[in-house]
Amino acid sequence: MIDNDQRPVLIRIARLEERLKEKPKLRFAFFKDSSRLISISAFIISIVTTIYSWRKDDIQGHEAARREFDSTMQQVIDIAVKNFEFQVKNKDEKNLGAMNGWFNTQTGLLQNKAIQDLAGLHDASMFDYIVVGNLLAVGQPARATKLIDKAIEIGLQKKKEHEQIFYRAIAQVQNKLFGEKIDVSISDEQRLHDLGSAYTSLGQALLAQRKADDAQKAYEAAIQLFDKSELPIDAKRNQIAMVYKFWADAEASAASDCNSSLAHLKSGFANFPEVYRVPDNSDWNSIQYELSYVTAYCGSDGKLHPLP
């Protein structure tokens, strides 16, 4: 017996008709909703504007910190010059000691401000740390040591980066794509001199703390740095000679054994290149004068005994 009930077939046909009447869902139908697009665009613009404003304020803050640091260092120089001029003009005045006390107080305040300004710099350079470290070397040698150690750390890191093949390759690619540009950062040679200066400044600060062994390591590091550099031989020997001279000067200031100071002066004299031994060379004249002075007045007890 044949089943003439056609309801299941009719139901299926009706469902198919309903599906055909439905609007097809487009893949990019979302983008046809203008209100949503406006909202999303406004959100993206607000994010970009916020980031731009933050970056602009950040840059301005860094520039302000740099100006404040430079101003403080200029004040330090000015007060030193004023103090010197005052002492020259009033060396016979009875109130000279009292006025020196006021100058020293002002200098101490500026030293502390220099440290605070340095901490506020976004990307302080090796030279920044050296300058402030030298500023503190006499009155606050322990703090000076920490700052100069930081300068050496920065210098060694920069030296390592510039010696990497990847760094040099990137620089060459940038030159090819955008043309060769002037390097506004310090050169490799200047970085070498600054690092050598940092080591000698560290030695001076350590001698002021009676740490002769540590000071010796610092000065020897400076000598080794120049000895292994790619400088011409005469320039290399000139730098080494000056390190020995600074070493001798620092020992004399620290009231150490003048025999040790004399030995360093002799080493500086021996290393000084012949081509620079001319009458108008102030470095050469200075080494000769100090060597002759210490040779003449260094006593057997290790103390200088100049004639009355």
Here the tokens at position 222 are 């400076």
Helix (H/G/I), strand (E/B), else coil: 23: coil
So where are the chain's domains? 64-124, 142-230, 248-308
State residue 163's pLDDT score. 66
Low-confidence ranges of the chain (pLDDT < 50): 1-2, 5, 182-184
Here the tokens at position 41 are 């665009």
Check if the beta carbon of residue 140 is closer than 8 Å to that of residue 107.
no
State residue 2's pLDDT score. 47
Here the tokens at position 44 are 């993206």
State residue 8's pLDDT score. 67
State residue 1's pLDDT score. 47
State residue 264's pLDDT score. 94
CA dihedral 62, 197, 216, 243 (to 10 degrees): -170
State residue 262's pLDDT score. 92
CA dihedral 266, 267, 268, 269 (to 10 degrees): 50
Please name which of 244, 250, 278, 246 lies closest in space to residue 264, comparing C-alpha atoms: 244
Check if the beta carbon of residue 194 is closer than 8 Å to that of residue 155.
yes
Check if the beta carbon of residue 130 is closer than 8 Å to that of residue 197.
yes
